[in-house]
Structure 1
Amino acid sequence: MGNAQSTVRILAPISFLYDFAAQQYGIFSSPTMLDIHNKNLAAFSPQPFFIAGFFFPQQLFQLAYLWKLWRREGTSAERETMEKYAWAYSLGNFCIGTWMFFWNSNNLETSNIFVIINTVSQLSYIATLLPPLDTRSTSNVLTHIVAKSFAGIGVLDLLHNTSAAYYRGVPPSSLVQVATGVGFAAAASVSDWMLGGCLVYDLVALSMGQEGGWSRLLGGYAVATAGIVGLRNWLYPKWKSQREGAYSRVGDEDA
């Protein structure tokens, strides 16, 4: 166990540096990642500056998470939460860093493999392994922010890369338009405000990257998704509190 903890404390920062270096390569190489983006516009191509706007604050949260992970701050439970996620975090960084080289080589089919691995692993982790949010714990909150922002932007990456790789220049069919709205609504209905906020951001980025009726429809989906996330995170805590309160009262009566 001690060896695994030492390994992941080293692996996670290395994965961050690898991904960061790959992103710099993507920005300053020729062609740039933006050149490839513009060359392969599709129905799920976002406004590229929204991606940059997302990653800048996320990098800061990652650095804070890595600092606490390296220093092993917090209780044993907090350290365990950070260290367990660090494996999925490292996998994600290595995948996205490697993705960049294939993307900038205009080999979008291969780059999509790494996007799929990252998105599926991040969504699977937050759905099955991430402990509940504890706002009293900075380490727990940082882990949730990093994990859910990775998963949230991963959804956009998957839609973008898949459409650019296989459906470049193809307008969205009626089925795709309906499935997009249903999919985001379903995801929003089970998301907390962190992941839900990322989903809304994804839709806004897509809307700003498209034109005409499809752009307006995506904008409408963003508003609807925000409403679902807001209602879910406002109503569910109240319902849960009422249920727990009712259970306690029954327990008192039995006593």
Structure 2
Amino acid sequence: MGNSQSAARVVAPLSFLYDFSAQQYGMFSKPNMLDVHNRNLAAFSPYPYFIAGFFFPQQIFQLVWLWKLWKSDGTPQENETMGRFAWVYSLGNVCIGTWMFFWNSNDLKTSNVFVIINTVAQLAYISTQLPPLDTSSTPNVLTHIVSKTFAGIGVLDLLHNTSAAYYRNVPPSSLVQIATGLGFAAAAGVSDWIFGGCLVYDLVALSVGQEGSWGRLLGGYAALTAGIVGLRNWLYPRYKKSQNKSREGYARINPGEE
């Protein structure tokens, strides 16, 4: 495990630099990312500047997380958590960095392969490998933020690239519209504030990027998803806590009835 963590401390920053360099290429080359986006509009094309608005703060969190990973001055459990995620993180950076070259070449079907790999890897990690959130642990909190924002924007990337690669200028069918609402609602029902917030952001970006009734429906889905995330993470825990207190009070008053 020690050798693996030592390697991760080197590989993760290098993967960040690779992805960051590829993003600069994507922005300043001709055609650039936005040019390709505008040529391939589809039902899940977001408003492009929402992507930039997401990546800037996310990269700040990544840099802080990388600094903590490099220092490795946490507990053994914290270091192990960061080291384990570092490999998934590095895979994601390599995939998204490589995606850029195919996207800017307008080879969207090939670029979609890298999007699928990244999104599946990030979702698999946060759903099966990520330990519970511990707000008293900075490395744990940072790992939750970085991994869940990676997965959250990955959902948008997957919808966007797939629709642009295979369904350019094709309006969403009724089935697609219903499935979109059900899918995001189901995901929101099992999401915390971090990943759930990313899902809401995805839908807002899509709603602003689309027009007409589909754009308005996506906006409604964003509000619904936000409501479900809030219900699950704020209202329901408080209701459950109050119910537990009521049961404890009843048990103290009627100890013989237990």
| TM-score of the two chains, using structure 1 as the length reference | 0.94
Structure 2 match to 1:143: 143
Secondary structure at 1:175's aligned position in 2?
A: helix
1:13-92 map, 5 Å: 13-92=13-92
Is 1:227–2:242 an aligned residue pair? no
Consecutive unaligned residues of structure 2, counting only runs of 5 or more, are: none
For each residue in 1:203-238, what CA deviation from the matched residue of structure 2 results, as whole angstroms up to 9, or x when unmatched?
Answer: 000000000000000000000000000000024433
For residues 119-134 of structure 1, what are the structure 2 equivalents within 5 Å?
Answer: 119-134=119-134
1:7 is matched with which residue?
7
The equivalent of 1:169 in structure 2 is 169
Distance between the aligned counterparts of 1:182 and 1:44, measured in 2? Answer: 16
Q: Report the secondary structure of 1:116's partner residue.
A: helix
SS at match of 2:24: helix
User: How far does the alpha carbon of each residue in 1:107-151 deviate from its partner, in whole angstroms, 9 at most, with x for none?
Assistant: 000000000000000000000000000011111100000000000
CA displacement 1:82-116 (0-9 Å, x = unmatched) = 11111100000000000000000000000000000
Counterpart secondary structure, 1:58? helix
Give the letter aligned to residue 98 of structure 2: T
Distance 2:239 2:130 in 1: 23
Which residue pairs with 1:209 in the alignment? 209
Question: Cα–Cα, structure 1 residues 71 and 240, in superposed 2: closer, same or farther, change >3 Å?
Answer: farther
Change (3 A) 1:106 1:147: same
**Hey, what's the Cα distance between the residues in 1 that align with 2:150 and 2:31?**
26
Alignment of 1:148-159 (within 5 A): 148-159=148-159
Distance 1:23 1:79 in 2: 29
CA RMSD of aligned residues (A): 1.7
How far apart, in 1, do the equivalents of 2:77 and 2:238 lie? Answer: 27
1:1-34 C-alpha deviation (Å, 9 max, x unpaired)? 2211111100000000000000000000000010
> Which portions of structure 1, spanning 4 or more consecutive aligned residues, are displaced by more than 3 angstroms?
238-247
- Structure 1: which amino acid aligns with 2:170? V
* Cα distance in structure 2, aligned partners of 1:244 and 1:103: 53
Deviates more, 1:146-155 or 1:75-84: 75-84
Q: Report Cα offsets for 1:21-51 as digits up to 9, x if no partner.
A: 0000000000001000000000000000000
Give the TM-score normalised by structure 2: 0.93
| Distance across 2 between alignment mates of 1:2 and 1:79 | 10
Counterparts in 2 of 1:178-193, with a 5 A limit? 178-193=178-193
Q: What is the alpha-carbon distance in structure 2 between the residues aligned to residue 180 and residue 84 of structure 1?
A: 32
Q: Percent identity?
A: 75
